A and B are shown apart, each in its own frame.
Chain A
Amino acid sequence: MAQLLKDYQVVEEHWSIVDEQAESLPCGNLLLSVSQRQQFASQLKQQDGKVGIWLDGNAEIEEIVESLLDLPLIAIKFPKFVDGRGFSLARLLRERYQYTGELRAIGGIIRDQLYLLRRCGFNAFQFAEGVDLSEAAKSLDDFSEAYQVATDQTIPLFRRR
């Protein structure tokens, strides 16, 4: 079974991403795109599992945020690890809209981004297969101090030093 890194732990994956071409929904906890959520709206009402949404980097979060905040899982997809839009989206969800559920980074992320991703509010990370997750977890705390405010530290260093 697939695994991911969540809250510093290696855990089993309990969600499945619904295939783009899917014409009906599988069972279990489902991670859908925004458009799939609309497409399968009626089916979802009879669904037993939980529902989460994954967002692209270009998501206009301000327009859809109301429908996201109660979800147990929001995933933000990094098409490539060098595409940093997801860092901003995560901070908006956590800091402006006070989203408290699981915020997961999916797609092309690499281990050496974990510290920055964590600071921006992600608490779960899905890597490509073959990544040693417990080894990778060491990078979550590459730094013990930071200058800026972010989700993990709302007081800037200059107000603490």
Chain B
Amino acid sequence: MNHRGTCPPQMYRYDSYDHKILDERVNQFRDQTHRYLAGEISDEEFLPLRLQNGLYVQRLAPMLRIAVPYGLLSSQQVRKLAHIARVYDKGYVHFTTRQNIQLNWPVLEQVPDILAELASVEMHAIQTSGNCIRNTTTDQFAGVAADEIEDPRPWCELIRQWSTIHPEFAFLPRKFKIAVCGSEQDRAAFLLHDIGLQIVKNSDGELGFEVFVGGGLGRTPVIGSSIRKFLPKQHLLTYLDAILRVYNRYGNRDNKYKARIKILVKAWTPEVFAERVEAEWEHLKEGPATLTHTEISRIKSFFTAPDYQSVDHAKLDAQLKTLGAQSKAFSRWLERNIQPQKQLGYASVTLSLKPAGVAPGDVTDLQLECIADLADRFSFGELRATHNQNIVLVDVLKSDLYELWQQAKAAGLATPTIGTINDIICCPGGDYCALANAKSIPVAEAIQRKFSDLDYVYDLGDLELNISGCMNACGHHHVGHIGILGVDKKGQEWYQIQLGGSANKNASLGKVLGPSLARDAVTDGIEKLLDVYIENRLDQESFLSTYQRIGIEKFKERVYGSTS
């Protein structure tokens, strides 16, 4: 129970309509699974049906991807996930780079039961895969970030409802991802989504969206283009309908590698694409799907602020400083794993899912239960999954931080390396994924073990290292300051290194350093890159800034020898 009162988690709660739709979805998939197992549905026909319910067939077993709408979870939901991991799987789950959760070992026959368990806590796996509108993602610090223009969560929920079982857009040319950014800093990589929505205010102070389309990673990484500077908020859903309709009709369906919206936007140019969308929207604008103030207020009412205490924050800061001076380990954790909030006296805590020796993003059932307990005790029963594959507890009173740290540490959740080279983003790779060309988890582990000296890691400062096991780029390698891409060369696993990627507002895509390296040469190669950085950096300059200033050549020479 929450020791600061009975305030429920600040998240959307289902009403009878939501429950009904979700229950009917579970029944639909149960019937489909029965008919498939009875031989009445072919593999080919069952494929999109199971994908749109989150179920992949993987290298070793099926994989079930569970939606975590815009990353938000309650402690009750996390306990249910722990239960599911224990009863239906091997006792652990994986947090993905899109704020979702994956089970690696479910049994097809039991999937409808898992979905029913999820439905009981207002969760589902709808549209977590397949060529449809996927889970909408946003900032893990939504609602508490100091640089926030507007809380993106109500808008994400409106998009979730609009996209759920959308009758027209269940069979798109390819998958479709939407992200919303409500702050100055971008923590949602929204420019790398099929649609990226930036919440803005116009000169009259009215709220709306700048609309970007055609961003994405994968084989052809592209940064999204702005097609509308200001979309008044009430028009959000009709405008999305217009974009999706244009894409559904004209997106490439002959070649899956050219089927994402980014290819269409590029082929037509963003200007022409915008004109086509505007022409379609003319017919939908002001139609019945135009949002009402009542509905916007209703959704927003679920995301009101919790009962903040008014505290002597200066005193709390002084106490923390004293505690930090007494414990180097605690002060390291404060330095890397704590984010200030706009609410004075409160902080956001990142629980690391990246201890060395564990696949990045993996957590056990017992850890999940511990996380749920921490959330109940310290953060109003609420927590968030991040696209960096960690967990965030927001609204933690600063006077609780020391106790929280001790408990998190005991559960293996307090690795003090957030935002450092050891906070690696990593896809499941060849150990699990049927698409992968190479393993990624052992590479992440080798890097974490090589760079285990925390003084060295801290001295390197902010450094994003992202690993994908194939060019589908689930590990976001294109936007890592250092990106590593697994490739297959004549049946051998090799790794291409990229430098200079970034997923923030000045998003940039990494450049290939040179020929790919054998797996046992990767960590040495990374060490050489870091040496070049340390030798060349000015003052507090980050790895990325140094790279941007000095260019790729020096890094290249060090890794491959003289290029002359």
List residues of chain A with CB under 8 Å of any chain B CB: 57-58, 81-85, 87-89, 91, 96, 110, 112-113, 115-116, 119-120, 142-150, 154-159, 161
Contact = CB atoms under 8 A, between A and B. Distances in A.
Contact of A143 (B32, B131, B165, B253): B165
Contacts of A142: 24, 28
B490 to A, nearest CB: 33
Given A88-B249, A158-B291, A120 B168 contact: yes
B49 A158 contact: no
Nearest to B170: A116
A147 B287 CA distance: 15
B430 interface: no
A149 B28 contact: no
A110 B298 CA distance: 38
Given A157-B17, A158-B291, A161-B17, A84 B167 contact: no
Given A148-B166, A159-B292, A159-B295, A143 B245 contact: no
Contacts of B215: none
B165 A147 contact: yes
Given A85-B248, A159-B288, A91 B49 contact: no
B535 interface: no
Nearest to A138: B31
A110 B249 contact: no
Which has the most chain A C-beta neighbours within 10 Å: B167, B172, B292? B167
B283 interface: yes
B34 interface: no
Nearest to A110: B45
Q: What range describes how many residues of B lie at the interface? A: 35 or more
Given A115-B167, A142-B24, 5 more contacts: A87-B168, A87-B170, A112-B45, A143-B21, A148-B167
B293 to A, nearest CB: 11
Interface in B302-344: none
Contacts of A149: 287-289
A92 to B, nearest CB: 8
Contacts of B295: 158-159
Nearest to A116: B167
B168 A82 contact: no
A94 B25 CA distance: 26
B248 A82 contact: no
Nearest to A158: B295
Contacts of A82: 48, 131, 171
Nearest to A120: B167
A116 to B, nearest CB: 5
Which has the most chain B C-beta neighbours within 10 Å: A84, A87, A91? A84
B15 A84 contact: no
Interface of B: 15, 17, 20-21, 24-25, 28, 32, 41, 45, 48-49, 131, 161-162, 164-172, 237, 245, 248-249, 253, 283, 287-289, 291-292, 295, 298
A112 B168 contact: no
A88 B20 CA distance: 26
Nearest to B299: A158
B20 A81 contact: no
B288 A155 contact: yes
A146 to B, nearest CB: 7
Contacts of B292: 158-159
B167 A88 contact: no
A155 B295 CA distance: 13
Nearest to B291: A158
B288 A154 contact: yes
Contacts of A155: 288
A120 B201 CA distance: 35
B162 A148 contact: yes
B254 to A, nearest CB: 10
A116 B166 CA distance: 8
B311 to A, nearest CB: 38
Nearest to A161: B17
B350 to A, nearest CB: 33
B45 A147 contact: no
Nearest to A149: B289
Contacts of B32: 112
A87 B24 contact: no
A150 B24 contact: no
Contacts of B289: 148-149, 156
The 4 closest A-B pairs by CB, nearest first: A84-B171, A119-B167, A158-B295, A87-B168
Contacts of B15: 161
A107 B161 CA distance: 30
A109 B304 CA distance: 45
27 contacts: A58-B249, A82-B131, A82-B171, A84-B131, A84-B168, A87-B171, A91-B168, A110-B45, A112-B28, A112-B32, A116-B168, A120-B168, A143-B21, A143-B24, A143-B25, A143-B28, A144-B20, A145-B17, A145-B24, A146-B21, A146-B167, A149-B289, A150-B167, A158-B161, A158-B291, A158-B292, A161-B17
B170 A147 contact: no
Contacts of B253: 83, 85
A141 to B, nearest CB: 9
Contacts of A144: 20, 24
B115 to A, nearest CB: 15
A85 B253 CA distance: 10
A146 B165 contact: yes
Contacts of B298: 158
